[in-house]
Amino acid sequence: MAEREPPQSERGRLAKLAFGVMALLSLLAGAVIFYLADQLGFDEQTARIVALTFLVAGFADYLILHFWDRLIKPRL
């Protein structure tokens, strides 16, 4: 039995969900690395760079979600 491809709107919702989860996890990872740098074995400067990178990635995911409808045109 062949599997049906999910409708376009369902795929869009799943993609938005994936970007939302990635944004939250990136922000959480950045905060954890920044606040627990000593316990994780990072020196202060490395922790700041890594945490900032995760925060920027999370913000980029948020921007993709915010501008989703303008970036991804629905196919008819």
The packing angle between helices 44-66 and 8-35, to 10°, is 160
Residue extents of the structural domains in the chain: 13-71
Range of lowest pLDDT (22-26, 35-39, 66-70): 66-70
Q: What is the pLDDT of residues 34-65, one digit of tens each?
A: 999 999 999 999 999 999 999 999 999 989 88
How many CB atoms are closer than 10 A to CB 10? 10
